[in-house]
Amino acid sequence: MSVTQIPTPIYYEEVPTELGHFLLAGDDDVLVAARLPDTWERDALPAEWMRKPGSMSTAAAQLEEYIAGTRRSFTLTLVPSGTPFQLSVWGALETIPYGTTTTYGAIATQVGNPKASRAVGLANNRNPIALFIPCHRVIGADGSLTGYGGGLPLKESLLALERSVSASTPG
- Among residues 59, 17, 58, the alpha carbon closest in space to that of 38 is found at 17
Cα–Cα distance, 125 to 16 (Å, whole number): 23
Judged on CB neighbours under 10 Å (0-12, 13-18, 19+), 165 is middle
4 is catalytic: no
- Among residues 94, 79, 73, 102, the alpha carbon closest in space to that of 31 is found at 79
Which residue of the set 24, 30, 131, 135 is catalytic? 135
- Among residues 117, 11, 103, 121, the alpha carbon closest in space to that of 56 is found at 11
User: Which residues are marked as active site?
Assistant: 135
